């Protein structure tokens, strides 16, 4: 059996841009995370620092010492091209001012983002940076993969600025941003908890196959992770006595069944997959539960080569024992995307914390949204 399902990545599905705070944490406010499918491309190129090369020649002119230090990854360079001059995404990626206008009335306001002003001369357009996620289709044998149909790409820390010529002509106005990316451990599992490899966020980019992509979403969203937390059981010697613990084990050769007994019902079900660690060589490994009886769960294991009695201190689990549920048949996977319908706005005087303002303080949150002073009536 192959160690992977070979699939190609084609076509961009959607991107999600999320603002970071000064420590690199993902921000979850109303105007902090933007999802869209209206992009033309996102590209990235690893940038390496060339290692020093040392060569020395002997008196006869022949090389006698040579050494080349390894090239090392410094960062990635990135480019993002969007389809239209999107003011909200432009402000999120490269600072400046988001310009909004009430298209309704004072009694029934309907404020929309209608424009964008570039950062001031001398400003840092990127602020604290953003996290970028992108999704593409996974294709196998000429058609979209039936299992894990998307690639999920993460760029945990990126800083962008506008690039390229903006030409108003008989053609599409370019909307391109360029920048660089680094690792960001505080990205963790992402803003909605879907990224399954948080340790990989320490790298400038990573990708993994997935079942989901944010299709059909355009605009600012707030995200919540309502998924069931993975259940982990340890021995009673290292957890709060009130917690449910794994206490003992036994086995029966007749049906090659291993059994684990807990301090109380562990709320596991037939079909759940568990990973057993440091219990016994007979029990360690990944197993599928075949039976549940009160506080005991059972599974079939080819490692069972003899009976292990159900009582007695030799069967008490060690201090380092651990049982983790790795796939639950009753697991809840509920990730909610809530559309943002209102963005807090400033009112346009010198007190706003906007780069270039006399009151600007780079350590404080930036007010980068202003509203038209034109009456809505």
The DSSP string of 271-311 is: T-EEEEESS-TTT-EEEEEEEEETTEEEEE-TT--S-B-SS
Residues 245 and 117 in one domain: no
Please check whether residue 160 lies inside any domain of the structure. Answer: yes
- Band of pLDDT at residue 357, cut at 50, 70 and 90: very low
Residues 82 and 188 in one domain: yes
Q: What is the pLDDT of residues 69-85, one digit of tens each?
A: 999 999 999 999 999 89
CA distance 134 to 168: 29
Please check whether residue 1 lies inside any domain of the structure. Answer: no
Which range (151-160, 315-324, 329-338) has the least confidence? Answer: 329-338
Please check whether residue 143 lies inside any domain of the structure. Answer: yes
Strand (E) or helix (H) holding 263: none
Predicted local confidence at residue 164, as pLDDT: 84
| Phi/psi of residue 264, nearest 5 degrees | -155, 175
Predicted local confidence at residue 75, as pLDDT: 96
Residues 188 and 84 in one domain: yes
Residues 120 and 47 in one domain: yes
CA distance 166 to 90: 14
Predicted local confidence at residue 351, as pLDDT: 47
Q: Which of 327, 345, 362 is the C-terminal boundary of a domain?
A: 327
Q: Is the pLDDT of residue 201 over 90?
A: yes
* Residue 280 neighbours by CB distance under 10 Å: 17
Please check whether residue 319 lies inside any domain of the structure. Answer: yes
Q: What is the pLDDT of residues 108-135, one digit of tens each?
A: 888 888 888 888 888 888 888 999 999 9
Predicted local confidence at residue 250, as pLDDT: 84
| Model confidence, pTM | 0.67
Q: How many CA atoms lie within 13 A of 7 on its CB side?
A: 22
Residues 130 and 202 in one domain: yes
Please check whether residue 376 lies inside any domain of the structure. Answer: no
Share of the chain above pLDDT 70, in %: 83
Please check whether residue 377 lies inside any domain of the structure. Answer: no
**Residue-wise over 331-348: b if at least 16 C-beta within 10 A, else e?**
eeeebebeebeebebbee
Predicted local confidence at residue 108, as pLDDT: 87
CA distance 95 to 241: 52
Q: Is the pLDDT of residue 352 over 50?
A: no
Write out the two tokens for 16: 């999600």
Q: Is the pLDDT of residue 366 over 60?
A: no
Q: Is the pLDDT of residue 373 over 80?
A: no
Residues 40 and 119 in one domain: yes
Full domain range(s) for residue 294: 232-327
Please check whether residue 21 lies inside any domain of the structure. Answer: yes
Predicted local confidence at residue 272, as pLDDT: 86
Residues 253 and 280 in one domain: yes
Residues 314 and 166 in one domain: no
- Pick from 25-29, 116-120, 179-183 the range whose average pLDDT is largest: 179-183
Q: What is the pLDDT of residues 251-295, one digit of tens each?
A: 887 788 888 888 888 888 898 888 888 888 778 888 899 999 888
| Overall number of domains in the chain | 2
Q: Is the pLDDT of residue 361 over 60?
A: no
Residues 258 and 363 in one domain: no
Q: Across the chain, which distance is largest between two alpha carbons, in Å?
A: 92
Residues 50 and 168 in one domain: yes
CA distance 307 to 303: 11
Q: Which of 327, 346, 363 is the C-terminal boundary of a domain?
A: 327
Burial of 372 from C-beta contacts in 10 A (0-12 / 13-18 / 19+): middle
Q: Is the pLDDT of residue 180 over 70?
A: yes
Residues 28 and 119 in one domain: yes
CATH of residue 264's domain is 2.40.30
Which range (80-84, 215-219, 305-309, 355-359) has the least confidence? Answer: 355-359
Mode of pairing for the β-strands spanning 322-327 and 335-339: unpaired
Segment 188-207 mean pLDDT: 92
Strand (E) or helix (H) holding 91: helix 87-94
Predicted local confidence at residue 169, as pLDDT: 87
Which range (111-115, 202-206, 211-215, 226-230) has the least confidence? Answer: 226-230
Residues 74 and 211 in one domain: yes
* Whole-number Cα distances in Å, 363 to 21, 204, 359: 10, 25, 12
- What is the overall mean pLDDT for the chain? 83
Strand (E) or helix (H) holding 90: helix 87-94
Which range (45-49, 246-250, 319-323, 371-375) has the least confidence? Answer: 371-375
- Pick from 104-108, 224-228, 343-347 the range whose average pLDDT is largest: 104-108
Q: Is the pLDDT of residue 43 over 90?
A: yes
């Amino acid at each position: 059996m192959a160690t992977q399902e070979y699939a190609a990545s084609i076509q961009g599905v959607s991107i999600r841009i999320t603002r970071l705070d000064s420590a690199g944490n993902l921000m979850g406010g109303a105007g902090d995370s933007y999802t869209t499918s209206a992009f033309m491309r996102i590209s990235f190129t690893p940038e390496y620092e060339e290692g020093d090369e040392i060569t020395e020649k002997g008196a006869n002119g022949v090389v006698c010492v040579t050494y080349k230090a390894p090239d090392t990854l410094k960062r990635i360079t990135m480019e993002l091209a969007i389809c239209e001059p999107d003011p909200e995404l432009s402000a999120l990626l490269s600072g400046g001012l988001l310009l909004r206008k009430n298209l309704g009335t004072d009694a029934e306001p309907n404020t929309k983002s209608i424009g964008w002003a570039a950062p001031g001369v001398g400003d840092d357009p990127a602020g604290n940076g953003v996290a970028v996620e992108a999704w593409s289709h996974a294709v196998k044998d000429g058609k979209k993969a039936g299992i894990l149909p998307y690639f999920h790409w993460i760029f945990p820390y990126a800083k962008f600025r506008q690039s390229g010529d903006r030409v108003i002509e008989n053609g599409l106005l370019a909307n391109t941003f360029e920048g660089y990316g680094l690792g960001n451990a505080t990205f963790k599992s992402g803003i909605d908890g879907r990224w399954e490899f948080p340790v990989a966020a320490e790298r400038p980019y990573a990708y993994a196959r997935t079942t989901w992509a944010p299709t059909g979403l355009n605009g600012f969203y707030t995200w919540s992770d309502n998924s069931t937390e993975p259940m982990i059981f340890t021995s009673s010697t290292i957890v709060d006595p009130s917690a449910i613990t794994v206490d003992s084990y036994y086995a029966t050769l007749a049906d090659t069944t291993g059994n684990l007994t807990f301090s109380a019902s562990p709320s596991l079900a037939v079909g759940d997959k568990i990973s057993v660690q440091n219990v016994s060589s007979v029990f360690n490994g990944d197993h599928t539960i075949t039976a549940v009886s009160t506080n005991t769960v059972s599974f079939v294991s080819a490692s069972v080569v003899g009976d292990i009695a159900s009582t007695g201190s030799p069967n008490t689990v060690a201090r380092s024992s651990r049982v983790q549920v790795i796939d639950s048949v009753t697991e809840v996977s509920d990730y909610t995307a809530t559309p943002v319908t209102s963005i807090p706005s400033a009112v346009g005087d010198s007190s706003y914390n906007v780069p270039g303002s006399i009151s600007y303080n780079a350590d404080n949150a930036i007010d980068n949204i202003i509203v038209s002073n034109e009456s809505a009536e």
